[in-house]
Amino acid sequence: MGERAPYDLRIAGGGDRFPVAEERPLLSWKLPRTWSGQDGYDLQFRVDGVEEMVQNVVSARHLFVEWPLAPLRSRQCVAWRVRARRSGRSSEWSPWYEFETALLDGDWSARWISPQEDDAEPRPAYILAGSVALREEIAQARLYSTALGVYEAFVNGRRVGTAELAPGWTSYAATLYAQAADVTALLRGGVNELEILLSDGWYRGSVGTWRKRDSWGTTTAARLQLHVRYVGGTEIVVGTDESWTSRRSAIVAADLMDGQTTDFTTPPDTPRPARVDAVSAPPISWSPAPPVRQVEQLAPRAVTPHDNGTYIVDFGQNASGWIMLTDLGPAGTRTVIDYGEHLDPTGDLTTTHLDSQRPGEVAIPFVQRDEVVSSGRPGEVFEPRHTLHGFRYARVRRAGGDLDPASIIMQVVHTDLRPMATFACSDADLNRLHEVARWSFRGNAVDIPTDCPTRERLGWAGDYQIFAPTAARLYDVDGFSRKWLRSVRDDQLDDGRVVNSSPDGNRLKVHDDPMVNGITGSAGWGDAIALVPWVLYETYGDTAALAENWPAMQRWVEWALATARGARHPSRVERSAEPLAHEEFIWDGSFHWGEWLEPKQRAADGSLIDPVMSDPMAWYMADKGEVGTAYLFRSVRTLAAVAEVLGRADDGARYRETAEKVRQAWQTEFLDAEGRTQAGTQASYVRALAFDLVPEDLRDKAARHLVDLIDAADGHLGTGFLSTADLLPVLADSGYPDVAYAVLYQRTSPSWLGMLDRDATTIWEDWDGVSEDGTATGSLNHYSKGAVIRFLHTHTLGLRQAPDSIAWESFVVAPVLNEAITWAKGTFDSPQGQIAVDWRIENDRLAISVDVPGGSEAQIRFPDGSTFHTGPGHFSARRPLA
């Protein structure tokens, strides 16, 4: 049917085992595979069995189409299909797509209930319990639930749904999501037991580097509502209320960061009445993101005895999740599991590289530890679902007991993102680098995009701003990103600043913290509110992402412009008491992280010099106006483009004019007549060229200066956090593909392949994350530098979206060749359909084949200058290499 009908129908919504939407879901579909476009469509709906038609719509749009009917009500069952039209001809009807509407906030009757607590430390998980008597002949049942904390729901002892760490992490003062589940098969006639297993989660547990607790509240709570429809149509509704009880569970300690302890010998606790309405909570919403799930299992690569009763388990892959144990030993056996990323020279687990330390203060040791005490019951399994760890290795201690390697499983846990791309080439190192970077993002896509799954686990805006274009190539991150952006908006300060990480465990919006306040509002971090929505629009055609973030991105940019006008760096004050004319657009007088984590210099003894810890005040006060002004230009220009898409012509014209003034100011202050940047670093040239800050007549000179710096560094990169993603594309697009590949293939530090040679399975935070003697110096799973693999897709494979194209309506295939690579192939499941590219070199000729989906057109460029244009279908050609 797909050849002659639209296919892959979707809504912009989330859900666990079935799609769930709110009142006005956005509709998307792909065109028939042989169609180049549509000029209209018809829609057919069944809403609770009632049919409605929307016919003869004149529109080329088939992505994020606005809901055309009256707003939906709670709990409606919807099916829809589409028929595309072109030049007076209609396609066949698509298959039906079904979804349900959520239980909307106004229709919740269940009350918030909380456990009766006794201030125990460490904090346990509690069981909230209720029951409902039902008749036979149950036709359908839906369970709606949420919590302030992390929860699992159970019906008659069986776990509901597949989502983990529900309801997910949000800025709980403003946003809370719920989950929906089909529990028809779990219910029976007679008394049914309902339970909620509730722990602190992100709401009340440890958050961030400094393990802050009680960030959003001091009392956990849950809310559950069950809707049952009998055969014949009658319905009943029950929910959490004063009849529910609470008791302590066998989970005697539960913290997402510190770990979970389960004692299966714990005697049953005496139920006590649950507390009712002890919390206040925001209106209940529904996440547009896929849920966190167990997405993969890994068996150990090796289990090695270390000391008496201690084993080191190597899973061969750094990831996020937990260990499941199926052999817990005789009754009373205690098993302790410590998790980490690295082993010391003796082969023991070490986590000292993840310790946290403020300048002048004692380090806070990093610990991830689970414990379990066996009851000896047959079939007992330990699976700590109320914590999460980043690890490749585990140290398992069991006094006096053996450990069966077959009983140990790593559960890989993260947001269940839909893969969108594949890549492979003739070079095994590049294939491995691609997988390492992909694993690094997977380990940091746990409901929000985090910086690392260990030490901090925070949704740092700078990290995702950098990686979002790469993430959007690897996975469908539209709903995942929109969910996180809502927290960014929730946390935005009244003056327009965007906080460094969201959800903001510091609660800077309501709790003043002078230190945190002083490092908030940085270029490259706050700019995520403008740049990430634009990635979603360019990649998916998601105009809703632009519209819902417009006010926040405008407030951010206006704050940055006002700061540029009103604050100056001391070095410029010293230069001139009165600001020079162009300084009105130089953003230098407020805090910036700057390039961050460029390769560290070495002291005379060979040790690495940390520029922050060695002289914090000098680093803090350094002039980072080049970075700030460059990002100001990029965000203002992006805002102009967003305004045009949203039909805000006056705003668009104003911001275009402002962007040009910022660019001219940057050129005046930071670029000379020979194309040299004032900073004179690799990062400054990469940023200038990537952001289009350099005048056309100086681009070649600026690129040459960049290459000279790389040559002076013996072919090594010198870029840090913000510019590494753009380094290789800038080199290749500036006429230096040989230099780009030489940097990519560099094996000594700093380099990507140097990480692989030191056994990296995820991307490191620091270029020297593991020294030559095997000592780890920082997080070994920070995905931002892994953005290099976008180059493998856009240049090595050669597949990139055409300039000014949206949602891949037009793309280019132009491989950038290197003598070490003889073939490459890959796919991308674009919003128009799957694109496939395969090229190989044979007998001094380049053969390229491309599959072009419906709704797209392609331009294929060969190194000899030959260019081909094609629409939907299969293309193949062979041309001389030169």
Rounded CA-CA distance 662/194 in Å is: 60
Sign of the dihedral through C-alpha 498, 500, 505, 507: negative
Burial class (CB in 10 A: 0-12, 13-18, 19+), 779: buried
Q: Which residues pair with 335 in a beta bridge?
A: 372, 398
| Nearest residue to 851 via CA among 802, 804, 807, 799 | 799
Q: Beta strand 245-248 with 251-255: parallel, antiparallel or unpaired? A: unpaired
Q: Which residue has the tokens 């327009």?
A: 496
Find out whether 245 and 271 touch, Cβ atoms under 8 Å: yes
Q: Which residues pair with 14 in a beta bridge?
A: 20
Rounded CA-CA distance 604/837 in Å is: 50
Q: Which two tokens stand for residue 648?
A: 């805000």
Q: Beta strand 77-86 with 176-177: parallel, antiparallel or unpaired? A: unpaired
Q: Is 598 annotated in the active site?
A: no
Q: How far is CA 682 from CA 711, 724, 731, in A?
A: 11, 9, 11
Find out whether 543 and 534 touch, Cβ atoms under 8 Å: no
Catalytic, out of 22, 164, 598, 765:
765
Buried/exposed code over 641-654 (b: 16+ C-beta within 10 A; e: otherwise): bbbeeeebeebbee
Catalytic, out of 22, 456, 598, 669:
456
Maximum Cα–Cα distance across the chain: 85
Q: What's the N-to-C CA distance of the chain in angstroms?
A: 42
Rounded CA-CA distance 406/850 in Å is: 45
| Nearest residue to 473 via CA among 817, 233, 829, 155 | 829
Which stretches of 671-784 are DSSP H helices? 682-690, 699-712, 724-733, 737-744, 752-757
Find out whether 32 and 2 touch, Cβ atoms under 8 Å: yes
Rounded CA-CA distance 171/475 in Å is: 24
Q: Is 765 annotated in the active site?
A: yes
- The SS3 assignment for 50 reads strand
Chain center to CA of 598? 23
Sign of the dihedral through C-alpha 786, 791, 796, 799: positive
Q: Which contacts qualify for 340-344: CB closer than 8 Å, 24 or more apart?
A: 340/368, 340/391, 340/392, 340/393, 340/394, 340/395, 340/454, 341/390, 341/391, 341/392, 341/393, 341/454, 341/776, 341/779, 341/780, 341/781, 342/392, 342/393, 342/770, 342/776, 342/780, 343/312, 343/393, 344/774
Which residues are catalytically annotated? 456, 765
